[in-house]
Amino acid sequence: MNVFRIMRLPDVFTLLNVVFGFLAILAAGGAWGRGYVHYALVFILLAAIADGVDGFLARKVGGSVLGANLDSLADLVSFGAAPAYFAISAFHIPPHLWPVGIFFLLCGILRLARFNVVSAQGDQFFEGLPIPAAGIALSASVLLGRPVLTVALMLLLALLMASSISYPKIRDLRVMAILGAIFLAVGLYLYLEENVLRAALVVIVLIAAYLGSPVVVSRIRRKR
């Protein structure tokens, strides 16, 4: 099987996703210098945009036989490994707390594996917190400069990914476009180093709203 021949347009954006994820790891490790580690969040946001585009295109034009597995592998790098490494590296978290980062990564792997084999909740909901939301939230928290908060959040996000809580799938093109525009704006803001803390707070507020969405969903279901 020639992988290059069976690839389709959505796969190109999936590969772009993992490229941004790898660049996020390089940034977190100080490849641009210790003063630019916040670029890790820039690349993770770009990875999220690429992930959204590949999903949209896959639904519109169809994906390849590699699509689902390729997407999960890319997400694992960009929203699992990169954010966990970013958190540990940025705060020089001691080895005895590394298991929290490992737990985050393992829960992300389990979340992706479950998604590939189970579609029990149909096309409207995810089972467990999607790993892109978890990775973005964790990465943004690093820029707040509070290691205890980041470690606690890492544990919480890991548990939410492995949980069976229902989270709505974002399929509306207008909502996706707005989120993409916000992520681009925040990424540019971070790149220009205008106000790192403010940019991080914008991302955290967006993800916090999504984290609270199961409450809204459950209330709607009760009314029905």
Does the predicted TM-score (pTM) go above 0.85?
yes
Q: What's 149's domain CATH number?
A: 1.20.120.1760
Per the structure, the complete domain to which residue 107 belongs is given by 3-223
DSSP E strand stretches across the chain: 125-127, 166-168
Token couple for 3: 């992988």
Maximal C-alpha separation, the chain: 54
Interatomic CA distance for residues 187 and 109, integer angstroms: 26
- pLDDT tens per residue, range 88-104: 999 999 999 999 999 99
Interatomic CA distance for residues 21 and 25, integer angstroms: 6
**What mean pLDDT value characterizes the chain?**
88
DSSP 168: E
Interatomic CA distance for residues 75 and 115, integer angstroms: 12
How many structural domains are present in the chain? 1
Interatomic CA distance for residues 10 and 28, integer angstroms: 27
- pLDDT tens per residue, range 121-166: 456 788 899 999 999 999 999 999 999 999 999 999 999 999 988 8
Q: Between 9-28 and 82-91, two packed helices, what is the crossing angle to 10 degrees?
A: 10
